[in-house]
Amino acid sequence: MKKKWHDIYLEYRSLLIFILLMTVFRSSFADWNHVPTGSMKPTIQIGDRILVNKMAYDLRIPFTGFSLYTFSDPERGDIVTFESEVTGNNMVKRVIGIPGDIIAMVDNRLYINGAPMTYHQTSTQGPIQFFEETTRNGHYQIRINREHSPASNFKAVEVPQGHYLMLGDNRDNSADSRFIGFVPRKEIRGRTRSVVMSFDYDNYFIPRAERFLRTL
């Protein structure tokens, strides 16, 4: 019996080593995550597979959240993935507030440290409006419903040390820091800047070639 298992090991050990190395790589270096919700529309679409750089901020022990070394911290405007202890899910959102920032929202318009962000409307689709939101760290597209949700306003809050304020680009349809609170630094797992591939969930999972290798 031992000889049989030994023979199986010898025959498949290259495959086993490959699987082990790939698992370690995806745990600590880079991974791809599928996106099942529209909370980051229009930037990330339902059905996108995003590339996650897990070494953007930390070098972590494989299969754990323990950081061996910190390379940098998230910046405003970064799209990050994090393992939310509040929801129990792996989530993807945009960093809006870093530690020490004072953030407010009035009718879906952000104020960071007292300064209003700049908005330029790019298009309208029925009740949905699309704007380019510009901050000191760059600009990106957001999606807003003309009939604002109760979450389109919140009073000024200060982001505590070791935490971040996250919002989805789909501002009226996102379970983000307005609902789950500030996100601890230790929960952040990586940063994404591109789509690897994408599939249309509403059309028999047909590949959306125009989104392959798309920069976010």
As annotated, the active-site residues are: 39, 93
Whole-number Å distance between alpha carbons of 29 and 64: 12
Whole-number Å distance between alpha carbons of 68 and 29: 13
- In 3-state terms, what secondary structure has residue 23? helix
- Alpha carbon of 3 to those of 9, 11, 37: distances in Å? 10, 12, 50
- Alpha carbon of 155 to those of 100, 108, 179: distances in Å? 16, 12, 14
Query: Which position has the token pair 């698992």?
Result: 23
- Alpha carbon of 171 to those of 10, 90, 146, 161, 185: distances in Å? 54, 19, 11, 25, 22
Q: Structure tokens of 208? A: 């959306």
